[in-house]
Chains A and B, each alone.
Chain A
Amino acid sequence: MTFARLGLWLLRRERASGEWRVLLLALIIGVGSVSTTGFLGDRIKRAMSEQGASFLGADLMVTSPRPIEDWPVPAVESGALATSQALEFASMVSRGDAFQLATLRAVDADYPLRGVVRIADRPFEPGAARPAQPPPGSIYVEPSLLPLLSASVGDSVKIGEATFRIAGIVAEEPGQLGGVFGLAPRVFLRADEVETTRVLQPGSRLTYLYQFAGEPEQLAAFSAAVKPALDSTQRLIGSREGVETLRGAFANADRYIQLTALISLLLSVAAIAIAAHHHALRHYDQAALLRCFGATTTQLRTLYAIQLLTLGLLGSLAGVAIGALTQQALAALILPGAVTRLPSLGLAPVGVAIASGLLALAGASLPALMRLIRVPPLRVLRRDLPPLPVAAWLSAAVSGSALLLLIAWYAGDAKLVGGFVGALIALVGVLILLARLALVAGRGVQRLSHGPLRFGLAQLLRHRFDSTLQLGAFTLALFLVALLALVRSDLIAGWQQQLPPQAPNYFLVNIAPHQQQAVAAYLSEHRLKASALYPMVRGRLVSKNGVSIAETLPEDARDSNTLRRELNLTWTATLPANNAILAGRWHGERRADAPVKAIPKVGNPLSAQADAELTPPAGAPLLSSDPSAEISVESGMAERLNLAIGDQLGFQVGDQTIAARITSIRSVKWDSMQPNFFVIFAPGQLDALPASAIASVYVPPDATDVLPGFVKAFPGITVLALDKLIANIEAVFAQIIGAIQLLLGFLLAAGMAVVVATLLASLDARQQEAVLLRTLGAQRAYLAKGLWSEFIALGLLAGLLASACAEIAMALIANRLFELPLRLHPWLWLVLPLGGALLVGMSGWLTTRHITRVPPMQSIRALN
């Protein structure tokens, strides 16, 4: 018989002995929770990017002023990616004497690939999801176009030489977020009817929109191949870019899911390590006997490696099966509306889960097995002989590298891994110290107590090493569960703060200077809560400290959105709400000395946007204004473009160049639903420029009938509805919160595994003592009470320690990792010790209960 077969034979025989069971169970829980979090996290991530995609209308979009004929990637031809094309251009729409410039989007039958277009029969109604391509001879228009043309649904309008019937109102469309400001009203028409209008002339400003959707790998390959082929007038937009507003929430949820997966994995690794240690301990005799019968080191290694591998595979497969099943149920429960097509469960995650199960098992149990192999054969004669010590660095290196690999694998993010591993090592050190201290304090309590309590505490103190281990393990489990629960509720609280109940749900854009007072009066008359009015001028950042801005950036950063797009520039003396100064000083009322002279209005907003697609003029622009003018820059932009306090920036506004110095850097809450600006000027610099203003307003659900009246009263003002966007954000949050709650459940199971594994490992010693005490005449009730007091004391202590650790950790990570405000959690100090006492008391009682029941004689025989 080969040793591999012998290993399997022994494994099969010992299956019934129950010693492997703990290890297997820990592994199943570990892999189960990991694969559940893995599968689920992956699905949620995909669901979220699907949400992002529904904002963009596709997974990827390429925009170009010219048609792109030759796509460099066969994926497009092979049909691996779904594609859709649209053409966007500006044209006049007329009805009778009324003319209005509109943004026309000519779409094919597949538009949009992701998300929906909702078409309503009347303005400001929710509408129903329908293809964006209108029936032949008709168009869909945005509500703001109707009053401008005094038209209603069903009327006919002219575009160029063709006549179209208005067949519906665009209530919602993807891509609403991308540069909404200053756009002329949207019109959808059929791509095959563009010809009939004859408005497209050579030299017309056109934007071709190419949309793509498909599997992530193909999309990644596609965008990698396409990117280098694009010139500076063409842009590649990913679905994540489509949702600037959701970015913060995405990043937090992403991090949180990573963290949860990692922590449940590490908890199960702890459980496995304890079980493996216990298993090895109970097999020293077997190993010694095998050596005595002539087994060599290599043969023993083979034997135990085969056993480990078999267990690893079994446990991992069972875990993966459990993970796949639970996540399927969970996905169905929490992701019904969010995901139109649930990503399928490929074989890849199964492979990953099995590999990580094996890795976790190896990392957790190899040190114990390495000791097992080094049991001296002489142990058959001297039963107390311990295995030869394994060099500490060796076992540390073996399990350390396996665990690091795992952590790196799951966390992905190097910073997260580093921070996490560091924190974990520190935590273990602190835990050992705290546990020791707590046990010393326990001695004082023990002296004052009597009866079974005194006995229970004495037990705790007598086995100092075991107690430290148990206390440490329980604390770790409680701490991690508490930590994630805290982070979760802080995350949710943070989100709710970000989206107040009366968050603005409409943007008013293009408010002319002479209208501003009338608008304010109209809003207050109808008791509508509006933000401040922000004047807005469109301009592009062209230079920094006299050098073309592109030249100050590394090659790969020149592609930045901020450079290509025109920025909305505003000026105000008051720092807007939801903005915070991070560096420098807010400019306040300080005025520049020499305001620029008035320049002609920059034509229609659409052409201003089209201008944005042009490359900045060559050569350093002249500074034509007062260089001491002050501006405040958003922190993300400052980071991306490498801007610092004191830098002199040049902006191109129309045909003018304006210079200003950065005197402050601001953080901006992009998801606050307020008008937000990358660059804010001090008053005085831009005042002379003709600027329209923007404001946001909250319209309660019962007051939406105010809007048609508003649009009639102020025909030039565009009203943008944000309800859909807010509903989407809330849906995303709700899904994430649901998922997080369930992930916490798994974490709790992993924590329980640690507690049970630790208790089971102490069972032998406890049994031995209980038998001895019963032989000496101890009553069963006395023993039971002793056990209870021991476990409850352990649970209480662990809960207290965990509370302390959790508060400290929360303080450390709250602002670092999640950018959340610092908060204290007094209830924690009550819940954790009580919960710990209950948890440890119950599981302790359940695992050790029988040792007080078995008659001493039977126990003595069983122990032999």
Chain B
Amino acid sequence: MTPPDSAQFPAESTSALQSHGVVIARALSQRVTTADGELAILSEVELAVKAGETLAITGASGSGKSTLLGLLAGLDQPSAGEIMLLGQRLGDLDEDARARLRAGRIGFVFQSFQLLPALSALENILLPLELAGRADASTRAAYWLDRVGLAARAAHTPRQLSGGEQQRVALARAFATDPEIVFADEPTGNLDADTGARIIELLFELNASAHTTLILVTHDEALAARCQRRLHLVAGQMREAAFA
């Protein structure tokens, strides 16, 4: 079963590609049809991220950053182009196969935290561990809650936590499964400057010690500057790919 546009990865074996990076995108385009006609959200994006790298995707609001992140993480399918994620050609995989690929190997941090309101801080960290079927799930969850400095708040539900605390739980949740890649979509977008700065410190600290690949969407210049590489989007088009 050959995907229609497999020609975009000519003659290269999967293992050979892996050396180029854990996330690779070729000629990635996303178009949607709206009431006003066809709308190009992303056009011909090229990207390769190596293991352990940190990449910032920047751009104005509405420039297509979240769309790109979603495509790279396999949450959506592109209109055109190819993505290799963790050595797998996403075009070959169906929705469920992509989900299995993510389980335990990819962590997420969201702008709006996305903790389950019914679960305690500890249980929210436990959730992806359980989903990935980790044997030592509870000890790991407790360890990671401690790592983000919230051991004392284990039984508190998200409602009882401040925004900064919620995002710390979310960071612990993202890193708890020892993922190969962490995707973060404007992790400081809902936080005040001080709290945001502390979250960024924590994010980079966790990332450094876990040697995780980090792909980070932000329009915060300071945050982008801390990443090794940077991809700037303007109206869905790559404008510069600067290396720090």
Contacts and interface: CB of A to CB of B under 8 A. Distances in A.
A382 interface: yes
Given A293-B103, A294-B131, A862-B159, A381 B70 contact: yes
A292 B75 contact: yes
Contact of B114 (A10, A14, A289, A376): A289
B118 interface: yes
A297 interface: yes
A534 B89 CA distance: 97
Contacts of A9: 130
Contact of B66 (A294, A296, A382): A382
Given A289-B114, A294-B103, A381 B131 contact: no
A297 B100 CA distance: 10
A377 to B, nearest CB: 4
A290 B75 contact: no
B31 to A, nearest CB: 15
A167 B132 CA distance: 90
A380 interface: yes
B114 A380 contact: yes
B70 A289 contact: no
A17 interface: yes
A293 B76 contact: no
B96 interface: yes
A291 B94 CA distance: 13
B119 A381 contact: no
Nearest to B103: A294
A377 B75 contact: yes
- Residue picked from A1, A10, A292, A380, most chain B C-beta under 10 Å: A292
B118 A292 contact: no
B110 A380 contact: yes
Interface string B144-174: 0000000000000001000000000000000
Contacts of A378: 70, 75-76
B130 A294 contact: no
A294 B132 CA distance: 8
A354 B99 CA distance: 36
Interface string A247-287: 00000000000000000000000000000000000000110
B128 interface: yes
A9 B130 CA distance: 11
Contacts, number: 79
Nearest to A294: B103
Given A292-B75, A293-B127, A297-B96, A381 B118 contact: no
Contacts of B159: 861-862
A16 interface: yes
A298 interface: yes
B69 interface: yes
B100 to A, nearest CB: 6
A298 B76 contact: no
Nearest to A864: B112
Nearest to A282: B117
A296 B108 CA distance: 17
B72 to A, nearest CB: 11
A296 B96 contact: yes
Interface string A362-393: 00000000000000111011110000000000
Given A1-B137, A285-B114, A290-B131, A381 B66 contact: yes
Interface in B101-125: 101-104, 106, 108, 110, 112, 114, 116-119, 123
Interface string A1-36: 100001001100110110000000000000000000
A292 B76 contact: no
B131 A10 contact: no
Interface string A828-864: 0000000000000000000000000000000001101
Contacts of A293: 102-103, 108, 127-128, 131-132
B62 interface: no
Contact of B117 (A1, A17, A290, A380): A17
A427 interface: no
Contact of B131 (A6, A14, A286, A862): A6
Given A377-B99, A378-B75, A17 B127 contact: no
Nearest to A18: B118
Contact of B100 (A10, A292, A296, A376): A296
Contacts of A382: 66, 70
A444 B50 CA distance: 65
A701 to B, nearest CB: 70
Interface of A: 1, 6, 9-10, 13-14, 16-17, 285-286, 289-298, 376-378, 380-383, 861-862, 864
| A-B pairs with lowest CB-CB distance, top 7 | A294-B103, A296-B96, A14-B118, A1-B130, A294-B102, A377-B75, A378-B75
Given A13-B118, A14-B118, A294-B99, 7 more contacts: A10-B116, A10-B118, A293-B127, A380-B108, A380-B114, A861-B159, A862-B159
